[in-house]
Chains A and B, each alone.
Chain A
Amino acid sequence: MASSLALKPINPEQFGYRQAAHLLSRAGFGGSPHEIATLQTRGLDAAVNTIVDGSEEQKNDINHDFSADLIRPLSEEDQAKHAKALREGNTLEIERADLLRQRLRAKDRFQMQDMEHWWIRRMIATASPLQEKLTLMWHSHFACSYQVVQDSYILFLQNGLFRTHAKGSFANLLTAVVRDPAVLRTLSNEKNVKKHPNEHMARVLLEHYSLGQGSFTESDVRESARALTGYSVHDHRFQYRRQEHDDAPKSILSQRRNFDAEKLVAVLLQQRACKQRVCRLLYEQLVGDPDSLQSSPEAESVIQALAVLLGEHRYELAPVLKTLFKSEHFYHTAIMGRVIRSPVHLLVGTARLLKTPLREMKRISAFLTDSGQRLFEPPLPTGWAGGRHWISASTLCARQNLCVYLITGKLPRNRQWSVHEIQYDPMPLLENLHSRESTAVVDHFTGMLLNIPLAPARRQRLIEFLDQRSGVTRHSMIGLLLLITAMPEYQMC
């Protein structure tokens, strides 16, 4: 009974413009006034269903084929050749092989950068923002980094895995994750063998991926490590090494069986702690900051209720998401506009909303790195912490300068930049506004860009700025956009 109270749906009459805007901000990267209005008119149920199920026009997502041939193991022929060269001390051949390997590694690093750029472009252009947002969430949760994996194609395959299961079944996702080459490599499972179990993956799987601290013992970790022995990687693919697998009985979470990875995942999924952990993750990503959770008892009951629901739906995420997005809690004033958005959300939201030109991807990627979120390099093993962790003096500066770059093409301290490089006209954004009074224009843009109310004194200051610049021109509009995107309010969603 308590659970149905916590997730009580909002009265459909109360699903207005602000609520629709909030839904788009959290279940995606934000929306234009037109998109918000369209969603609002559909009504609560239809709107949420569209957002979660996705629409038919999903074909225009950018795809790309990346090369699987850069990092491959040596063929048997090449291995024999290399062994022969070592035996004979044939330094020429050895050097040649080394040089080739170095070149391939360099190419692979370039391909990794290309992948970063591809994903950013994809997020900006996507017709399924919730799917991309959840893909990013899993990328952080099951954190793997190129620095460790050293193989871009494996990470590309993993990215596809996250996208496929983004809002599908967590049970299927976790089952796939324990066989995922990027995960196995990052968590040292290639070295986890019967004779010398390596606990790295078991620990991360229990402590972070599924149960969370306090729901398992050190013994469970040790036994889980044995269950995972022999699960390894060869040539971008999962490889099961039977002779390395410890198939003797193990005791995990009060059950005794010949656990292997699949049976281990099954017992983890049975635990209530696992359902709670998944729902806590969803909550932190979509509803409230990790920090705000500490002060909100309602949040806890919502998470518990979601966990029960997730159990009833056997780990299918879509029904749980729909219930969440229709709940009164989700639209509470304490929830709307109170989350510090991630650098990627800031980037993609700004690019989509302001329709800025596509600038140099390398620069954009550098800004994301300086803001603390470099794609394919989440902090190991727990990913990006989010919330207030996004904001420090340096990262705030990087976020502001990212927006300046998007709008004007100007980089920090760039003396060669000149005004004609802006190549961007914000005037079309004023299309539906008839008035050109400073007050109307300021209200139009702050309404469009900010998710929290603006204090009167600050609103006044922006109006003064326009007046000082003699009203509405292309350049004063750009100035206004630069100011709004630099404001603390703009960091929220």
Chain B
Amino acid sequence: MDDRGSGVLSTSRRRFIGCGLAAAAAMTGAPGLSQYQHAAWADEVEGLGEVSTSIKPDRRILVVVQLSGGNDGLNTVVPYGSREYYYARPNLSIAKRHVHRLRQSEQIGLHPELEGLKDMMESGLAAVVQGVGNPKPDRSHATSLRAWHTASVPGNAKGVSTGWLGRALEVLRQTPGPDTADPPSISFGGEAPLALIGQEMSPLVVKKPTECVWSGSELNDVLKTCYEDLMLRTVGQDTDATKHPGAAEYVSNIAAEMRSYTDRFQSASFNDTTVNFPGGALADKLRTVINLIRAGFSTRVYYVTVNGFDTHANQVEAHAQSLWHMIVAFKAFYNELQTSKMDHQVLTLAFSEFGRRVEQNASNGTDHGTAGPVFLFGRMVRPGLVGSHPSLTELDQGDLVHTIDFRSIYAAILDQWMGIDHPIVLGGSFKPANIFR
């Protein structure tokens, strides 16, 4: 299909409206088409092709941000060129005049609160992958999240007990490299996400790294020393422990881990960032990530969870706030990374477990749906819109049909950013999405 050249863009744009399934499928499989969407941008963006190889593999960092609840993709990446969108959402749709238009499309724009995202796309730091989903969508939070975490299809996910990043990090650990005592992955929040769990590996989970200090240590030195000895030694084995390896060993491993990192967290220079960080949970955690990177942690993967996207009722205000908080945090994060010249080194992936239904519900909100957009940030990313918007006329029981399998994104990240053959981790071969420069 030799249709390179500016004339083609208008044809491909027209294909967005009432896009048939066949055309959508063609777009998924052909990296060529998404390249066209970037044709207008390709010449403007600097440093093509050099970026991803200039950072050594073991210095590359991945930050995963989970937008929990099911972000409403249709109101985030708005198909303002579609009539069906406005019919389906009489009270909830974003008016054309409020949408942030994107240079490369006359059909797709961004939610009014996402001006920051538009800026980042234009300055070469952000990409939005459209229509990401999986072949057998499920509308349960738990099942869908499990699918994303384990890189499987919902329904098959239950039997899998390791996460894609846990597996990936275990593969990396086998390759010779500098020996490091740093945790391979760190997760902020209450619990270890399944994505980071490997056969033996699990992430360090912290809420606020600077606060992991035993208050008894400050009482006297004899007490402090004894405490440290007890934390660092593992729990003794009684005769039954080996038959039923268990919870006690787990706790004592966490205790030892906690003890060994406390000093490093403390001594990390938690300087104020040069860029003004906004308030909010995501911004705080991203700021901590920067501090940990600067303190020399050789951790490869950071994981952050953000709540607030399950907009069943009265969506307008809540969704606007969630999107705004999200983008100002990412913007500050990359501004700060830029000042430290680390924007080439840190790749951020932001996803949600599913999108939402096309039609609004009776509570001025939306119910659980299927496909949705995924965001990628970093100087190594191919900026702009990636892939094609799901069809709004050919729905599956009122839901969008995905145009790209989420595992294609994982495949690209594994192959090109982490340097691992993706079938080893994903248990199958997927066409890597064209997301890197």
What residues of chain A have their CB less than 8 Å away from a CB belonging to chain B?
A: 188, 191, 193, 195-196, 198-200, 203, 207, 213, 218, 289, 291-292, 294-295, 333-334, 337-340, 370, 372, 382, 385, 387-389, 391-397, 400-401, 404-405, 408, 410-414, 452-458, 461-462, 464-465, 468-469, 479, 482-483, 486-489, 491-492
Contact = CB atoms under 8 A, between A and B. Distances in A.
27 contacts: A198-B362, A334-B240, A338-B247, A339-B247, A340-B250, A388-B247, A392-B205, A392-B254, A393-B205, A393-B212, A393-B261, A394-B206, A394-B207, A396-B255, A397-B258, A404-B216, A405-B215, A408-B219, A410-B215, A411-B215, A452-B235, A465-B222, A468-B222, A482-B216, A483-B227, A489-B252, A492-B247
Interface string B163-203: 00000000000000000000000000011100000000000
B247 A382 contact: no
Contacts of B143: 213
Contact of A196 (B212, B222, B254, B362): B362
Given A198-B361, A213-B143, A397 B211 contact: yes
B22 interface: no
B250 A338 contact: no
Contacts of A453: 236, 238
Which among A389, A393, A492 has the highest number of chain B CB atoms within 10 Å? A393
B399 to A, nearest CB: 12
Given A295-B244, A400-B214, 18 more contacts: A196-B362, A196-B363, A203-B140, A218-B139, A291-B247, A387-B247, A392-B254, A393-B212, A394-B206, A397-B212, A404-B214, A452-B248, A455-B237, A458-B230, A479-B220, A486-B227, A486-B230, A486-B231
State the 10 A-B residue pairs at the shortest beta-carbon distance, nearest first.
A455-B236, A196-B362, A392-B205, A488-B252, A394-B207, A393-B258, A488-B251, A412-B215, A465-B226, A191-B363
B140 A455 contact: no
Contacts of A456: 236
A487 B313 CA distance: 46
Contacts of A412: 211, 213, 215
Contacts of B229: 461
Interface string B244-276: 101110111011011001000000000000000
A479 B223 contact: yes
A338 B142 contact: no
Contact of B363 (A198, A392, A458, A461): A198
Contacts of A333: 240
Nearest to B142: A382
Nearest to B204: A393
Given A388-B250, A393-B257, A394-B212, A483 B236 contact: no
Contacts of A457: 233, 236
A489 B216 CA distance: 17
Interface residues of B, number: 54
B250 A391 contact: yes
Nearest to A400: B214
B367 interface: yes
A282 to B, nearest CB: 19
B437 interface: no
B14 interface: no
A193 B362 contact: yes
B213 A413 contact: yes
A396 B362 contact: no
Contacts of A487: 230
Given A391-B250, A394-B206, A188 B313 contact: yes
B363 A188 contact: yes
A413 B210 CA distance: 11
A486 B251 CA distance: 11
Nearest to A455: B236
A477 to B, nearest CB: 12
A232 B307 CA distance: 27
Given A382-B142, A396-B258, A468-B222, A458 B216 contact: no
Contacts of A464: 226
A401 B251 contact: no
B207 A370 contact: yes
B190 A392 contact: yes
B356 to A, nearest CB: 13
Nearest to A336: B240
B243 interface: yes
A461 B362 CA distance: 65
A334 B241 CA distance: 8
Nearest to A415: B218
Nearest to A461: B229
Contacts of A340: 247, 250-251
Given A391-B254, A404-B214, A465-B226, A292 B243 contact: no
Contacts of B247: 289, 291-292, 338-340, 387-388, 492
Contacts of B257: 393
B38 interface: no
Nearest to B253: A488
Contacts of B244: 292, 295, 334, 338
A468 B230 CA distance: 16
Contacts of B223: 465, 479, 482-483
B96 interface: no
A389 B238 CA distance: 24
Nearest to A207: B140
